[in-house]
Amino acid sequence: MQTLLIIDGNAIMHRAYHALPPFKAADGTPTNVVYGYLSMLNKVVTDFKPDYLISCFDTPEETFRNKLFKKYQSQRPKIDDDFILQIPLVKQAVDASGIERMEKAGYEADDLIGTITRIFEKNNFRVVILTGDKDIFQLITDSVFVASPQLGLANIKIFDKEEVEKKLDIAPNQIIEYKALVGDPSDNYPGAAGIGPKTACKLIHQFGTVENIYKNIDKIESEKVREILKKEKDNVLLSEKLATIMTDVEIDLDIERLKFKGFNKKLIDFMTKYQMNTLTKRIFGEKELVKKEEPKKEKPDQIGLF
């Protein structure tokens, strides 16, 4: 079985930004996000040896979720300028490395990931998704796995169906129902106010889906829970839509372009420009590097991670 590796671009950029100190290149350009992203990319390529590889990103435009619910993600703090400056640099690095990159206005990276995952899954691929976003757990099946960085970027935990059930007490395909009932503070949508994780899991175990919960609402033992669900029905149905990762986005996908045969050597020039010398050696090895005069080290050489 061949392997497709999908990188959740924004999730890994955020993980890198918060995991690494704010070091900079000699010209003052912040580089911790780029360095962390490339380090993580190299690690998972080494670990999983993918046959196909793609990196998906969010765009600045509003998505269909913002149109459904104006307060969607509105509570999130403003992103630091040092992070914003590095977003185009990460994309330049991905392009230089020869890895396919995808983004689409109106959709989150999650929706592209969901769509690509199902296309490859139907064609009998093993799919590994690198992300720190637990929303992606809903895509996990017998042949789809999530690789989640732990403790910064140094370790990776693999989540399969059994691991999700052990962690959340529900199956991956029930995460949408769970979030519909409980909501999601990180994305700022409500769920049913008054329904906590324990009650949500109990309802899901008993009835399976949100639709089935409402069809059988009179069978719910607790009068309090029944009343909450009746009162909060609109919020529950809205949250269900917001929580659902799309798997049928119209995308232009040339599968041949996703074939991965190693990092393109154009990436060497990119990393040399930003003094990522240790990382360049780690990815390409001493033999591939053109010996150049070593520039003065402005600070410790972009710290070794792995």
- Does residue 272 come out as left (phi exceeding 0), alpha (psi in the -120 to 50 range) or beta? alpha
Q: Tell me which residue has tokens 């360095």.
A: 35
H-run or E-run covering 101: strand 100-102
DSSP state for residue 291 in the 8-state scheme: P
CATH topology of domain 172-243: DNA polymerase; domain 1 (1.10.150)
Q: Where are the domains of the chain?
A: 3-161+245-258, 172-243
Which segments within 160-216 are labelled E, that is strand? none
6 neighbors 117 (Cβ within 8 angstroms): yes
User: At residue 157, what are phi and psi to the nearest 5 degrees?
Assistant: -110, 135
How far is residue 84's CA from residue 87's CA, in Å, rounded to a whole number?
Answer: 5
pLDDT band at 190 (very low <50, low <70, confident <90, very high): confident
Compute the residue count for the chain. 306
Contacts of residue 240, Cβ cutoff 8 Å, sequence gap at least 6 = 176, 177, 179, 180, 210
Architecture of the CATH domain 3-161+245-258: 3-Layer(aba) Sandwich (3.40)
Instruction: Give pLDDT tens digits for 220-232.
Output: 999 999 999 999 9
Q: Across residues 264-269, what is the average pLDDT?
A: 97
pLDDT at 297 over 90: no
Where is average pLDDT lowest: 84-93, 202-211, 295-304? Answer: 295-304
How far is residue 74's CA from residue 95's CA, in Å, rounded to a whole number?
Answer: 31
Same fold, 3-161+245-258 and 172-243: no
Instruction: Give pLDDT tens digits for 142-183.
Output: 999 999 998 766 789 999 999 999 999 999 999 999 999 999
Instruction: Give pLDDT tens digits for 17-46.
Output: 999 999 999 999 999 999 999 999 999 999
pLDDT band at 79 (very low <50, low <70, confident <90, very high): confident
